[in-house]
A and B are shown apart, each in its own frame.
Chain A
Amino acid sequence: QKEVEQDPGPLSVPEGAIVSLNCTYSNSAFQYFMWYRQYSRKGPELLMCTYSSGNKEDGRFTAQVDKSSKYISLFIRDSQPSDSATYLCAMRRISFGNEKLTFGTGTRLTIIP
């Protein structure tokens, strides 16, 4: 079983809809949680980085972390066709020397105009 589980999709929604992307994890040592957006054959682009349980908002994006349930989410409001990409959740431990990111498998999202 992978340490980080993510629904691979694909997920298709109409433009303007609210998108919900989710990941679960099994290792309670993970303390930092990130969401990356990756366009085809491009490098992952950091969207959000959170530490505490709760919500963090940045423009149309909201990241939610529930450490007690080991569950994280990314919400995209007013989705645009340019949001069509693969979304990867990633997490890491807090200790020095143990900083690698462990990724989910990614969810491919398509926003239909």
Chain B
Amino acid sequence: AAGVIQSPRHLIKEKRETATLKCYPIPRHDTVYWYQQGPGQDPQFLISFYEKMQSDKGSIPDRFSAQQFSDYHSELNMSSLELGDSALYFCASSSRGGTYEQYFGPGTRLTVT
């Protein structure tokens, strides 16, 4: 079965640079979620989108923005990167018309130097 696709899988950036992470949800899933997981920590919710509209917002820094496009893929834009932004970034998707289960992608490992 098709899963959530994330790209790139690894990204190395310098401080103050910009990064864009992409997420392609499972086909027919209409909701996308972004989570950040620091080393040894549990995933922390950043933001979610349903039908291209922001549906929920967590502890996402103002330097970050995200959107969902008409084909339901989503992008997380991160500007003025800081060393503390180094983490695994996961995208998850679900279908409101189905169950409430969220399926996670493989993640993007961001390293800020």
Residues on A lying within 8 angstroms of B by beta carbon are 32, 34, 36, 41-46, 49, 88, 92, 94, 96-106
Contact = CB atoms under 8 A, between A and B. Distances in A.
Nearest to B104: A43
A43 B31 contact: no
A41 B109 contact: yes
B31 A99 contact: yes
Nearest to B44: A103
A88 B101 contact: no
Interface stretch (B13-21, B65-73, B76-84, B92-100): B92-100
A35 B95 CA distance: 18
B94 A99 contact: yes
Contacts of A88: 42-43
A41 B41 CA distance: 12
A106 B55 contact: no
A96 B43 contact: no
Given A36-B104, A43-B106, A43-B107, A101 B56 contact: no
Interface in B1-59: 4, 31, 33, 35, 41-43, 45, 48, 50, 55-56, 58
Given A44-B90, A45-B104, A46-B102, A100 B56 contact: yes
Given A43-B106, A49-B99, A101 B90 contact: no
Contacts of B94: 99
